Homo-oligomer: A and B are copies of this chain.
Amino acid sequence: MPARPYLLDCDTGVDDALALFHLLSDDEVNLVGVSTVSGNTSAAQAADNTLRLLAAAGRTDVPVAIGAHHFRMAEYDGGVPHIHGDNGIGGVELPASHVDPLAESGPEFIVRMARHYPGELRLIAIGPLTNLALALELEPRLPELVGDLTIMGGAALVPGNASPVAEANIINDPHAAQIVFDAPWTITMVALDATMEQLIESDDRERLRSAPGAIAPMVAEMLGVYYDFYVSVFGRPCSALHDPLAVAISTGEVVPTLAPLVRVTVDATDGPGRGQTICDMRGVYNGYPPQSGAHVRVVLKVDRPYAPLLMDRLLSFA
């Protein structure tokens, strides 16, 4: 089977790096490029991080386009260095890549790739949805052109991670998210409901640290700040695999076992629910009967623990 074309839109980011490495490790994936957006770090920093990570993996062939620096109705405010480190990848200093970012913007790149692979491109968005909203404005036919859209973002029946009800990617740019969720495509939404169940632990990090090759020990180092942050959430150093889980679901290696197709509205007010993905889960008591107009598949449960698979992939780099 020929490798399928994938485009990753991300705000690299520690778990974005894991997602990138998962994609790079898969022979059935043709990663046609990466677009970056501000979120965990700035769009420019995220592009630089991505180029360095690609170089470390010997994949300087993958183009990277810098996307939106500011959000639609708010300025980028400096990211979350206490979670992802000062540079977005846990403070780890990687050698610079000799490759420059593309001259075109992230949204322009997304549109060009979607037109180049009509009906085939698999789009995975694991940062704020600013670039996708801009791409929809550049090309209203994007929903027809994109073959598959998987988003890491939102929460349905679990708490948020950036407010009591909002997940970080969505609250960073709720207006963009509203545009993306309102567009006529089927979205696979990999929510915190699924990602908070998929953890890598201290012993996983130790295995990465002592593994041969360059990638695994580098990842172990990147995970330092990230693991420290999660002590406040889980009571121990570990990490939720938000972004890479979205990749594994898009590639089909991890299969959703509970993912009702429901209506989703984004709270784009300035009220206390700002950034919430309001998912209509009222069917929970009755096997989620069909909802008219529903086009978001909210992933709540998957068929297996994902960490062992990700570990195999990270350890597979020479």
| Chain A residues in the interface with B (C-beta under 8 A) | 157-161, 164-165, 196, 232-235, 263, 265-273, 276, 278-282, 284-287
Contacts and interface: CB of A to CB of B under 8 A. Distances in A.
A278 B165 contact: yes
A159 B158 contact: no
Nearest to A273: B273
Taken together, the copies of this chain in the complex come to 2
18 contacts: A159-B280, A159-B281, A161-B282, A164-B280, A164-B281, A165-B273, A165-B276, A233-B282, A233-B286, A235-B285, A235-B286, A235-B287, A265-B272, A266-B272, A267-B271, A268-B271, A271-B271, A272-B273
A234 B273 contact: no
Which 8 A/B pairs are nearest by Cβ-Cβ distance? Answer: A273-B273, A269-B271, A164-B280, A159-B281, A265-B272, A235-B286, A159-B282, A267-B273
A288 to B, nearest CB: 11
A233 B286 CA distance: 6
A280 B157 CA distance: 13
Contacts of A276: 165, 273
Nearest to A280: B164
A192 to B, nearest CB: 10
A173 to B, nearest CB: 16
A263 B157 CA distance: 18
Given A157-B158, A159-B157, A272 B278 contact: yes
Contact of A159 (B233, B234, B267, B284): B284
A164 B278 contact: yes
A118 to B, nearest CB: 34
Contacts of A159: 157, 280-282, 284
Contacts of A270: 269
B157 A285 contact: no
